[in-house]
Amino acid sequence: MEKEILTLVTFFPLVGVVLLTILPRDRHDSIKGFALIISFVTFLFSTWLYYMFDPLGNGMQMEVNIPWITSLGISYHMGVDGISLLLIMLTTILTFLSILASWNSIKTGVKGYYISMLLLETGMIGVFCALDLFMFYVFWEVMLVPMYFIIGLWGGPRKIYAAIKFVLFTMFGSLLMLVGIIYILFEYQKYSGVFSFDMLKIIGELPLSYQAQLWLFGAFALAFAIKVPLFPFHTWLPDAHVQAPTAGSVILAGVLLKMGTYGFIRICLPLFPDATITYLPYICILSLIAIIYGALVAMVQRDVKSLVAFSSVSHMGFVMLGMFALNTQGIQGSIIQMINHGISTGGLFLLVGMLYERRHTRLIEDFGGIARVMPAYAAFFMIITLSSIGLPFTNGFVGEFLILLGAFHKNNVYGIIGATGVVFAACYMLWMYQRVFFGKVTNDENKKLLDLSWREKVILVPLVLLVFWIGVYPKPLFEILKPSVNLVVEQMERAEAVRLDDDYRVEEKLTTVEVGNNELSFDTEEQSDE
């Protein structure tokens, strides 16, 4: 079973796609039901995967490696480590919740919608499992099409513009990545004599010249940075988020953005360590700009959904900052923050969607005093907001704290600027909360609003549980992440050491790195729990 579990998790949604294609178009209830069951079973499979995963094991687990197109060196190679495991869990749970959340809001083209959702799920899980560059690219592109339709068919007023912009941006980046992948293929063939896209082999064996690394890092990083999105490439994101239907935004923010950061940590860092060191300051600066810029723009938004969208830009800036701190705390924090962002921003989009279903507006000025009409809703919104801000005991704190710790280790300036971002986040989120929920009910239409239904509570409760679980007891996550993160950090340190060989301060720097290493990450965490 150990061999098949990954294939099962990845392609089980496809079974649902086939099933839904057969069902007649007007049987809405059975279509929804089947989609829900399929996504739930996928989630169960992923929890099974979680239990089968050995947190002490090094490297990839549950590996499958079957030749696929042998003449091109393409193989069906899948495997998970701690990082991908957590992201797969996130994907399955968010897909399940967003299918539940679209129960009433999607009224036209029900069949196509759920087919797209399940297709998307396969693509996303595939990206996180693939250990073959070619397969990685295939899954990466496959999810483009269902997302295009989800935004373009069931989205808001400017949906077509948003959908096409999203696809063009992503496609441009990914084609550059394709060129990079092909280049690596031939470099590897020159080096070893065989064609292979095997990520592990390429990372482990292939020596790339510094010059080549610079170019390749550029090609890959552009594709990933567009997806993240890093500061100058973020313009597609607000459009896509605001126009997409609720479930689309949840998946987009919760999972698709993580594919970019996952690409960085899985491919860019280990494969181009020297180039990473060179590009590091630029990427850090861009992420800092993203943090501040995202926060400032979020503050002036009138639409709650675009506020959340811009807060995403800011949060993903944190993730990038932590990752490029290149130390244990930073990278661990950045992965935890990926999960957190999925939970909290996903939750916010769900909540905004619920309000939109009732009032058909998202403008902050239309609301006020909602807390009196919908107390349960306000409570849930509060918890998720606090988690997004990063209050202690919530998941956001763990991630942001570690990221800032890592950033301070790297460079005090990064840490200081990053910390201001946290303050800004508190400002715009709480200000928005105050304007929407407190005060008198000024608008008559708001007086009739119904509080959450049991279905909506079912959607939100797991998220709230996750918020507190990660916030109070994150140890299991760190244990899962530890081997994979250590591997990345070691690789980066080796590269840094080689780079600094000629530097007269080589010893000084190495010692600081060691100090950073000795503070084992979950120790620091346990302190922060109390």
Partner 1 sequence: MDFTLPQYDPFRMLPEIFMLLWALWVFTYDLITKRQKEAAVGYMALIGPAVPLLFIVFYLTGLLPESWRYGGSGFGAMFFNDTTAMFFKIVFLGAAIMAIGSSFGITKQKIVNHRGEFYGLLLFSTLGMMFLASSNELLTLYIGLELTTIPLFVLAAFFKDDKLSVEAGVKYFVIGAFSSALLLYGMSFLYGLSGTTGLVQMKMNMAVVFLSYRDIGVILLGGIVLLVAGVGFKLALPPFHQWAPDVYEGSPTPIAAFLSVGSKAAGLVAFGKIFVNGLMAFFGPEQAPNDWGMLVGLLAILAMVIGNVVAIRQTNIKRMLAYSSIAQAGYIMIGMVVLNEHGMASVAYYIFAYMFANMGAFAAVAIFEDQTGSCQIEDYKGLAKTSPVFAVSLSLFLLSLVGIPPLAGFLAKYKVFAAAISMATVDPSASWLYWLVGVGVLTAVFSLFYYANVMRLMFFSNEEPRHKITYSVPALCVLLLGLAGIVVFGIYAEPILKLVRTIPADFGLYIP
465 binds partner 1, rule: CB under 8 A: no
Note the helical H segments in 233-374.
236-243, 246-251, 257-263, 269-271, 273-299, 304-323, 328-359, 370-373
CB of 179 to partner 1, least distance (A): 6
128 binds partner 1, rule: CB under 8 A: no
Residue closer to partner 1, measured from CB, 71 or 527 = 71
Residue among 460, 288, 475, 463 nearest 398 (CA): 475
Q: Distance between CA 97 and CA 112 in Å, rounded?
A: 18
176 binds partner 1, rule: CB under 8 A: yes
CA separation (Å) from 293 to 425, 468, 526?
Answer: 11, 29, 32
19 binds partner 1, rule: CB under 8 A: no
User: What's the Rg (C-alpha) of the chain?
Assistant: 22
24 binds partner 1, rule: CB under 8 A: no
Residue closer to partner 1, measured from CB, 178 or 379 = 178
Q: Which stretch binds partner 1 (CB under 8 A): 148-156, 289-297, 353-361, 500-508?
A: 148-156
- Say if CB 173 and CB 226 are below 8 A apart: yes
Query: Which of 24, 26, 29, 70 is close enough to bind partner 1 by CB under 8 A?
Result: 70
52 binds partner 1, rule: CB under 8 A: no
CB of 217 to partner 1, least distance (A): 17
Q: Which stretch binds partner 1 (CB under 8 A): 65-73, 360-368, 397-405, 521-529?
A: 65-73
CB of 503 to partner 1, least distance (A): 32
CB of 184 to partner 1, least distance (A): 10
Query: Which of 18, 66, 179, 458 is close enough to bind partner 1 by CB under 8 A?
Result: 179
Q: Distance between CA 122 and CA 117 in Å, rounded?
A: 9
518 binds partner 1, rule: CB under 8 A: no
Q: Distance between CA 185 and CA 206 in Å, rounded?
A: 10
CA separation (Å) from 368 to 360, 373, 427, 445?
Answer: 15, 10, 18, 11
Q: Which residue has the tokens 């400017």?
A: 158
Residue closer to partner 1, measured from CB, 212 or 500 = 212
CB of 141 to partner 1, least distance (A): 5
77 binds partner 1, rule: CB under 8 A: no
Residue closer to partner 1, measured from CB, 195 or 431 = 195
CB of 338 to partner 1, least distance (A): 25
Q: Which residue has the tokens 């086939």?
A: 18
Residue among 140, 90, 94 nearest 117 (CA): 94
Q: Would you state the structure tokens that stand for residue 400, as one six-digit string?
A: 């942001």
In the window 414-433, what residues touch partner 1 (CB under 8 A)? none
Q: Which stretch binds partner 1 (CB under 8 A): 47-55, 152-160, 346-354, 484-492?
A: 152-160
Query: Which of 18, 66, 160, 423 is close enough to bind partner 1 by CB under 8 A?
Result: 160
Q: Which stretch binds partner 1 (CB under 8 A): 147-155, 275-283, 414-422, 476-484?
A: 147-155
Q: Distance between CA 262 and CA 491 in Å, rounded?
A: 17
461 binds partner 1, rule: CB under 8 A: no
14 binds partner 1, rule: CB under 8 A: no
Residue closer to partner 1, measured from CB, 152 or 238 = 152
466 binds partner 1, rule: CB under 8 A: no
529 binds partner 1, rule: CB under 8 A: no
E strand or H helix at 121: helix 110-129
Q: Which residue has the tokens 């297709």?
A: 119
- Say if CB 307 and CB 432 are below 8 A apart: yes
Helix axes 328-359, 454-472, angle to 10 degrees: 160
Residue closer to partner 1, measured from CB, 175 or 200 = 175
- Say if CB 250 and CB 101 are below 8 A apart: yes
Helix axes 133-142, 144-154, angle to 10 degrees: 10
CB of 5 to partner 1, least distance (A): 22
165 binds partner 1, rule: CB under 8 A: no
Residue closer to partner 1, measured from CB, 178 or 449 = 178
Note the helical H segments in 23-109.
28-52, 82-101
Note the helical H segments in 390-520.
395-410, 412-437, 454-472, 475-499, 506-518
214 binds partner 1, rule: CB under 8 A: no
11 binds partner 1, rule: CB under 8 A: no
Binding site for partner 1 (CB under 8 A): 25, 68-72, 112, 137-138, 141-142, 144-145, 148-149, 152-153, 159-160, 163-164, 167-168, 171-172, 175-176, 178-179, 182-183, 185-187, 190
